Amino acid sequence: MSDVVITEVNEGVMTITLNRPEAKNAVNLAMAEGLAAAIIELDSNDDIRVAILTGSNNTFCSGMDLKAFVSGEVPYIKDRGFGGLTEAPPAKPLIAAVEGYALAGGCELAMVCDLIVAAETAKFGVPEVKRGLAAGAGGLLRFPRQLPYRVAMELALTGDFMDAARAKDLGFINQTVPEGEAFAAAQGLAAKIAGNGPLAVKLSKQVVRDSEDWSTGEMFGRQQDILQPVFTSEDAIEGAMAFAEKRAPNWKGR
């Protein structure tokens, strides 16, 4: 793994740290490759239940490395998108722990995450239009799905920032915490998720994510197709037995 993306796994939780503090964790090709590798490891390793995406030195991510962009380097991975993530989110839960700025591509990376915890001083935004660019790594697509239409349009067209308080009021993020505590709060959420049945968690995420595009007439049938393995799994029996025996379950993910 590249030193611009640092990973650590502890008790089923992977921490993925964007680590280019000298560039406010701006994404270059090396970081995109490292992040893609981390996401592939997250989904392929049965010992990992959930991941936290964060940035070093009290900054989440300032977006694409514009100096690298001007020199002809593009931080996109084929079939995976900007940063190796925006077009290929993991099947397992991903939590963003945001300190400082999550701007442009950095905001688009945060938007891919299933949960967002942010410091009270954090800022979000897609200021690409201020540089003659557009938020083509998912911002223009995901903002209208995660925010009211006019707020999404305001942010996309003005390039202005949104503070953490407004983001929370609008349901864009889950929690705000004092500055410096975003990662600890994300760890708390991750521990709760890691303690649940891994198959149930993974497939529950799939239903929540995919059902947005399902019609009323098809939604229960499509949900059943996805969730059937949960109800016939060893984990379902283990969860019921553990409850009856008043002990912690021993999940197998099957």
> Quick one: 117 and 230 in the same domain?
no
Say how far residue 122 (Cα) sits from the centre of its chain. 16
Residue 250 in domain: no
Instruction: Answer yes or no: is 252 within a domain.
Output: no
**209 in any annotated domain:** yes
User: Is 108 among the residues known to form the active site?
Assistant: yes
In tens, the pLDDT along 22-73 reads 999 999 999 999 999 999 999 999 999 999 999 999 999 999 998 888 888 8
Residues 219, 173 share a domain: no
62 and 98 belong to one structural domain: yes
Q: Give tens-digit pLDDT for 187-238.
A: 999 999 999 999 999 999 999 999 999 999 999 999 999 999 999 998 888 8
- Tens of pLDDT, residues 147-195: 999 999 999 999 999 999 999 999 999 999 999 999 999 999 999 999 9
Query: Any idea what the Cα angle at residue 148 is, between residues 131 and 211, rounded to 5°?
Result: 110
CB-CB contact of 5 with 38 (8 Å):
yes
* CA–CA distance, 94 with 85 (Å, rounded to integer): 11
Residues 205 and 190 grouped into a single domain = no
pLDDT score of 254: 85
pTM above 0.75, yes or no: yes
Classify residue 249: in a domain, yes or no. Answer: no
How many domains in the chain? 2
Catalytic residue at 128? Answer: yes
Q: Please give the pLDDT value at position 68.
A: 84
Owning domain of residue 49: 5-194
**CATH number of the domain enclosing 19:** 3.90.226.10
Do 110 and 226 lie in one domain? The reply is no
Q: In this structure, are 109 and 207 located in the same domain?
A: no
Written as six digits, the tokens of 151 are: 């707020």
Are residues 156 and 223 both part of a single domain?
no
- Specify the amino acid at residue 108: E
Q: Is residue 253 part of a domain?
A: no
User: Looking at 108, 179, 181, 218, which residue is catalytic?
Assistant: 108
pLDDT value of residue 196? 94
Q: What pLDDT digit, counting tens, does each position of 110-147 carry?
A: 999 999 999 999 999 999 999 899 999 999 999 999 99
Residues 99 and 126 in one domain: yes
d(C-alpha 209, C-alpha 204), whole Å: 9
pLDDT (average), residues 76-102: 97
251 in a domain, yes or no?
Answer: no
Backbone phi, psi, residue 203, to 5°: -75, -30
Name the active-site residue from 73, 120, 128, 154.
128
Q: Are both 120 and 148 inside the same structural domain?
A: yes
Boundary (domain end) residue, out of 194, 218, 235: 194
Indicate if 65 and 164 belong to the same structural domain.
yes
Residue 136 lies in a domain: yes
Taking residues 2-18, report their average pLDDT.
95
Sequence-separated (6 or more) residues with CB below 8 Å from residue 43: 90, 91, 92
* Same-domain status, 152 and 29: yes
Assess contact for 38 and 13: CB atoms under 8 A.
no
Residues 147 and 223 in one domain: no
Would residue 176 count as lying in a domain? yes
